[in-house]
Structure 1
């Protein structure tokens, strides 16, 4: 049986728990650069110190924008905000590189009267937050803004509602969550100090403020680090310290790495941070890859109908990798291995056994001695290509000792197109060798 030295053990998904409105101590935030002069009204405070969903196959950004909806437009952001998941305390992981949230923060202000705390009023903000992971740097950029006009002042007396409540300060920042499964060789930091404005200024400020959460170091050859960050909102103001809430969002899981085998053409992506709470799913459309798509469907849904045939009666194939999004089901996952041009011995073995299974071509068999005419693919016309599933670049490929794979002769153009999409998927969803589970889904349109 095939044995693989796993570079890293599979790690459990990071827990996303806790309520948004929680009490706690002051944050550790990294001191950083001052805001650009073109962003008035924000006071960056220098301080000492340092659920899962299916991925929609997003790309990271090498040159990070100062707005999550620029320059590509608001399509992903509007779609993300429109989901009920975005209204949860931990927001929505839109895909492996993008996250969003639309939520509410309340700050209750008290004063002492005769030695007892008395509630003076409550300020409420409806805010939006978003994040995009870099694909050439070990960082993710966090964006924040109040929804225009979505700040309310409740319970204040009429005079204080106009003169006091809007002028109180509100401080915003992301912060790294200490002890969140990080390896001791990794560190997490926030690349700008907290932003602080009056409540009324936040309400009328149209732009996004942003910070970079970055990671250094990790485990293994790919320097993998699983870490977490969370949003922190603090409305403490002089004279109203007692009872003021410290708003801590639940931890949001990220994974950063320095794997050097990701590329798109000549462009390479040697570092990245992705969001962990998303299932990577490669989707093929029957309208674009009808022959490869049908092959994968048959292999997943009716594996015993596929070639090569099992040599033993009553012994059924179990071909992994199926994702059925409409039913929320998923089969055993697939795992990427080094490709043949990267001297990957598993991929080499997969290729040899695939050729043995479909070596009959016009009566010729150039890949003996493993080919067996009673179990291998029957002769097929020249000009077609032998397609295999699971892919040769996976640990579950044709060298599987139980013959849990399938081969089929398909159109060369279809096969080449499907292979190109697989390569782009590996990069766009940052599929690490041996570590990342992923699935394959075939849809009609």
Structure 2
């Protein structure tokens, strides 16, 4: 909620107080290089001095965007909505509190097999204004809202091949120790994050990322396979030959992360768990990648519940 004091142009006389709620919802999409924002001003209340007419007071929302060309793929472009500014009398906001803005990025077709995922990193921000015919300009409304967006066309590694994501949103893989389908996987990860002294390889002061430090996805099949081979080798060192037991070597951090077992810092854990449980845990991880459109190098976190 905003609580503003309007003053005259000299800044010496208070003209009144203005209260209102402002909210903005952003919508990213799986399958479309588009992002929508629904913005609103509502629950307006005023307390003007007797000589001031609050019906002439105004509130404005002013959107703007930029592109981070250095992080984007070649020729990054964003198409902004035709209307990016709305400056209205309070009564108009009361009558029509909501409005929608749509930003898109041109789709050049599938180029990901040539190494171009058409990633465009953009920031959408909004400044807020409040005024009356007798007031000094309100100066505290700069950049009261901003969101970071990535447009992409990356193929089947990320949902419906193309889309948008809010890059500041925290992506989490959540698993429960009470879920019978993945309870062994969940316990292994829980121990790795919270009781690393119970994990192998064992060394003093061991810590493993994923809870406070993010993991980062790897999509290169060769790197994933190297992580798996290293982890399986570690399992055999500890438990010997487990072929035919129905057990599989579970590894954390996952083989499909840059923090996997070949990183070289030994901040990983391996454990023999039920094979079906291990495979189901892998399915849950892939679902997280797909639903959240996690690309190569993107960060994510892991949360284990009891």
State the TM-score, normalized to the length of structure 1.
0.55
8 Å CA contact retained: 2:5, 2:14: no
Task: Return the alpha-carbon distance in structure 2 between the equivalents of residues 350 and 152 of structure 1.
Answer: 60
Equivalent in 333, 345, 348 of residue 225 of structure 2: 348
Q: Which residue does the alignment assign to 1:157?
A: 50
Structure 1 226/241 Cα, relative in aligned 2: closer, same or farther at 3 Å? farther
Task: Return the alpha-carbon distance in structure 2 between the equivalents of residues 167 and 180 of structure 1.
Answer: 42
Q: Which residue does the alignment assign to 2:110?
A: none
Q: Shift of residue 337 of structure 1?
A: 0.8
Higher helix share: 2
1:291 matched to 2:179? The reply is: no
Q: Which residue does the alignment assign to 2:154?
A: 260
- SS of aligned partner of 2:261: coil
8 Å CA contact retained: 1:321, 1:440: no
Q: Shift of residue 225 of structure 1?
A: 4.1
Structure 1 119/334 Cα, relative in aligned 2: closer, same or farther at 3 Å? closer
State the TM-score, normalized to the length of structure 2.
0.77
1:437 matched to 2:296? The reply is: no
Task: Return the alpha-carbon distance in structure 2 between the equivalents of residues 406 and 142 of structure 1.
Answer: 42
Structure 1 263/120 Cα, relative in aligned 2: closer, same or farther at 3 Å? same
Equivalent in 125, 130, 143 of residue 249 of structure 1: 143
Higher strand share: 2
1:414 matched to 2:288? The reply is: no
Structure 1 153/228 Cα, relative in aligned 2: closer, same or farther at 3 Å? same
Q: Shift of residue 296 of structure 1?
A: 1.4
- SS of aligned partner of 1:399: helix
Q: Which residue does the alignment assign to 2:86?
A: 195
8 Å CA contact retained: 1:321, 1:438: no
8 Å CA contact retained: 2:67, 2:121: no
Structure 1 210/195 Cα, relative in aligned 2: closer, same or farther at 3 Å? same
Equivalent residues in 2 for 1:21-170 (5 A)?
A: 103-104=1-2, 106=4, 108=6, 110=8, 120-147=15-42, 150-157=43-50, 161=53, 165-170=54-59
8 Å CA contact retained: 1:258, 1:270: yes
Equivalent in 337, 362, 373 of residue 218 of structure 2: 337
Q: Shift of residue 104 of structure 1?
A: 1.5
Q: Which residue does the alignment assign to 1:427?
A: 290
Equivalent residues in 2 for 1:296-375 (5 A)?
A: 296-303=189-196, 305-307=198-200, 309=201, 315-316=203-204, 318=206, 320-323=208-211, 330-331=212-213, 333-338=214-219, 344-358=221-235, 372=237, 375=238
8 Å CA contact retained: 2:5, 2:15: no
Task: Return the alpha-carbon distance in structure 2 between the equivalents of residues 300 and 168 of structure 1.
Answer: 55
8 Å CA contact retained: 1:125, 1:152: yes
Structure 1 155/178 Cα, relative in aligned 2: closer, same or farther at 3 Å? farther
Q: Deviations over 1:41-63 (max 9, x none)?
A: xxxxxxxxxxxxxxxxxxxxxxx
Q: Which residue does the alignment assign to 2:100?
A: 210
Structure 1 398/197 Cα, relative in aligned 2: closer, same or farther at 3 Å? same
- SS of aligned partner of 2:259: coil
RMSD: 3.7
Q: Shift of residue 338 of structure 1?
A: 1.1
8 Å CA contact retained: 1:110, 1:244: no
Task: Return the alpha-carbon distance in structure 2 between the equivalents of residues 108 and 181 of structure 1.
Answer: 41
Task: Return the alpha-carbon distance in structure 2 between the equivalents of residues 402 and 232 of structure 1.
Answer: 45
Task: Return the alpha-carbon distance in structure 2 between the equivalents of residues 415 and 182 of structure 1.
Answer: 36
8 Å CA contact retained: 1:139, 1:256: no
Task: Return the alpha-carbon distance in structure 1 between the equivalents of residues 102 and 251 of structure 2.
Answer: 42
Task: Return the alpha-carbon distance in structure 1 between the equivalents of residues 37 and 184 of structure 2.
Answer: 42
Q: Shift of residue 142 of structure 1?
A: 1.6
Task: Return the alpha-carbon distance in structure 2 between the equivalents of residues 241 and 175 of structure 1.
Answer: 27
Task: Return the alpha-carbon distance in structure 2 between the equivalents of residues 156 and 269 of structure 1.
Answer: 58
Equivalent in 241, 245, 249 of residue 386 of structure 1: 249
Structure 1: gaps (5+ residues): 1-102, 324-329, 359-370
Structure 1 178/417 Cα, relative in aligned 2: closer, same or farther at 3 Å? closer
Structure 2: gaps (5+ residues): 108-114
